[in-house]
A = this chain, B = another copy of it.
Amino acid sequence: MTVTIIGTMALDDLGLPIGEFPQIIGGSATFASLAASIFTKVDLVSIIGPDFPKTGLELLNNRGVDTSFVHVSKTKTFHWSGYYTEDMNQAHTKETNLNCLLEFDPILSQDENKNKFVFLANVDPFLQKKAIKSIKKPELILLDTMNFWIEHKKPELLETLKMVDVLLVNDQEIKLLTGINNIIKAMQKVMELGPKRVIVKKGEHGSIMFNGKTFFALPSFPLFEITDPTGAGDTFAGSFIGYLSQAQNLDEHTFQKALVVACLTSSFTVEGVGIEKIKAITKADLQNRLQAYRKITGIAEEIF
Contact = CB atoms under 8 A, between A and B. Distances in A.
Interface string A150-184: 00000000000000000000000000000001111
Interface string A264-304: 00000000000000000000000000000001111111000
A256 B214 contact: no
A224 B298 contact: no
Interface in A186-215: 188, 202, 204-206, 208, 214-215
A208 B215 contact: no
Interface band, chain A: 35 or more
A87 interface: yes
Interface in A202-232: 202, 204-206, 208, 214-220, 222-226
A296 B216 contact: yes
Given A88-B181, A218-B219, 13 more contacts: A86-B181, A182-B226, A183-B204, A185-B224, A202-B205, A206-B206, A206-B217, A214-B295, A215-B222, A216-B298, A217-B296, A219-B219, A299-B299
6 contacts: A182-B204, A208-B222, A215-B222, A297-B297, A297-B299, A298-B299
